[in-house]
Chain A
Amino acid sequence: MRIRKILPLLSLSILILTLSLAFTSGALGYYFPLPGVRMLASWYLYTTLNPQFPEFSAMSPEAVTAIVWDYRGLDTLFETAVFFLAIVGALALMRGISLKSVVENNTATVEVEGNGLSPIVKTASRPLTPLIIAVSASIALHGHLTPGGGFQGGSAAAVAPLLLLVIFSVYFLVKRGISEKPMLVLRTVGLLGIYVTAFLAVIAGLVLGVNAYVFQNQPKFDAPVGVPAYVFNTLLSGTLFLFNLFEYLAVAGGFTLVFILLSIPEEIARSVLGGEEYE
Chain B
Amino acid sequence: MIELSTLTYLFMAVTGVISMIATYLAVLEKDLVKAVVYSALQSTAYTLLFYLLMAPDISLVYIPVAVGLYPAVILFLIKKTERMEGDEK
Q: Please give the residue numbers on chain A whose beta carbons come within 8 Å of chain B beta carbons, in ascending order.
A: 1, 4-5, 8-9, 12, 16, 31-33, 64-65, 139, 147-149, 151-152, 155-156, 158-159, 162, 166, 255, 258-259, 262-263, 266
Specify which chain B residues have a CB less than 8 angstroms from the CB of A162 in the assembled complex: 68-69, 72
Contact-size category for B: 20 to 34
Chain A residue, CB-CB nearest to B67: A159
Please state if A8 and B64 are interface contacts (CB–CB under 8 Å): no
Known: A33-B53, A33-B54, A266-B80. A147 touches B60 (CB 8 A): yes
Choice from A5, A32, A158 contacting B64 with Cβ under 8 Å: A158
Please state if B24 and A9 are interface contacts (CB–CB under 8 Å): yes
A258 to B65, CA, bound (A): 14
Q: Please give the residue numbers on chain B whose beta carbons come within 8 Å of chain A beta carbons, in ascending order.
A: 5, 9, 12, 20, 23-24, 27-28, 53-54, 56-57, 60-61, 63-65, 68-69, 72-73, 76-77, 79-80, 88
The distance from the CB of B39 to the nearest CB of chain A, in whole angstroms, is 14
A240 to B53, CA, bound (A): 25
A255 to B55, CA, bound (A): 24
The distance from the CB of A11 to the nearest CB of chain B, in whole angstroms, is 9
Please state if B69 and A159 are interface contacts (CB–CB under 8 Å): yes
Main secondary structure of the interface of B (DSSP, over half): helix
The distance from the CB of B82 to the nearest CB of chain A, in whole angstroms, is 13
Specify which chain B residues have a CB less than 8 angstroms from the CB of A8 in the assembled complex: 24, 27-28
Residue pairs across A and B with Cβ atoms less than 8 A apart, 28 shown, are A1-B88, A12-B23, A16-B20, A32-B9, A33-B54, A64-B57, A65-B57, A147-B56, A147-B57, A149-B57, A151-B61, A152-B60, A152-B61, A152-B64, A155-B65, A155-B68, A156-B60, A156-B64, A158-B69, A159-B68, A159-B69, A162-B68, A162-B72, A255-B69, A258-B73, A259-B72, A262-B73, A263-B76
A212 to B28, CA, bound (A): 56
The distance from the CB of B78 to the nearest CB of chain A, in whole angstroms, is 11
Specify which chain B residues have a CB less than 8 angstroms from the CB of A32 in the assembled complex: 9, 12, 53
Specify which chain A residues have a CB less than 8 angstroms from the CB of B20 in the assembled complex: 12, 16
Please state if A159 and B64 are interface contacts (CB–CB under 8 Å): yes
Please state if B57 and A148 are interface contacts (CB–CB under 8 Å): yes
Known: A1-B88, A4-B28, A33-B54. A155 touches B69 (CB 8 A): yes
Specify which chain B residues have a CB less than 8 angstroms from the CB of A166 in the assembled complex: 72
**Given A1-B88, A4-B28, A266-B80; 15 other pairs, CB 8 A cutoff:** A5-B28, A8-B27, A12-B23, A16-B20, A65-B57, A139-B60, A147-B56, A149-B57, A152-B57, A159-B64, A159-B69, A162-B68, A162-B69, A259-B76, A262-B77
What 5 pairs across the A-B complex have the smallest Cβ distances? A147-B56, A262-B76, A152-B60, A155-B64, A156-B64
Which of B54, B65, B80 is packed against the most chain A CB atoms within 10 Å?
Answer: B65
